[in-house]
Amino acid sequence: MHDNSLRLSRIGVLSLLFVCSSLAPGDSVAEGFVAPAPERQAELFNLIRQDCGSCHGLQMTGGLGLPLTPEALKDKSPEALKDVILYGRNGTTMPPWNPFLTEAEAVWMVRMLQKRLPRYVP
């Protein structure tokens, strides 16, 4: 693996561990919700940073897509946010991610976005 790729991979995993460790037990799971395995969480964290970040900004403060900061999401229904991730938004550039994500993974992503992702470190 290229040195920069390895460094970014380590940063992503460390950032993910920071986010997960900052969640209170009640925040990380809901009744009947099973969080993705740690390896999948790392993949999802990367998806948020790279794929979502390409439209919503690397800091999630907006760009082509709307901001995905905790402040911007505070009045949004977690269920509605999950549905937007899974099914996209008609008439916009927001694609449906349901071919690639489970409902539980989308719920996990919403919870991460509502908490605040660690700062992007290039």
**Which residues are CB-contacts of 122 (< 8 A; sequence separation ≥ 6)?**
8
Q: What is the pLDDT along the chain (122 residues), one digit of tens a residue?
A: 455 444 444 444 444 444 444 443 344 435 567 889 999 999 999 999 999 999 999 899 999 999 999 999 999 999 999 999 999 999 999 999 999 999 999 999 999 999 887 654 44
Q: How far is Cα 86 from Cα 105, in angstroms, rounded to an integer?
A: 10
Which domains are delineated in the chain? 3-23+36-115 (1.10.760.10)
pLDDT for the residue 34: 85
| DSSP assignment string, 35-64 | PPPHHHHHHHHHHIIIIIHHHH-TTSS-SS
pLDDT for the residue 2: 52
**Which residues are CB-contacts of 71 (< 8 A; sequence separation ≥ 6)?**
none
Please state whether the predicted TM-score (pTM) of the whole model is above 0.95. Answer: no
Q: How far is Cα 49 from Cα 45, in angstroms, rounded to an integer?
A: 6
pLDDT for the residue 116: 83
Q: What is the DSSP letter of 74?
A: T
Distance of CA 72 to the CA centre of its chain: 14
Residue the block writes with tokens 């994500």: 101
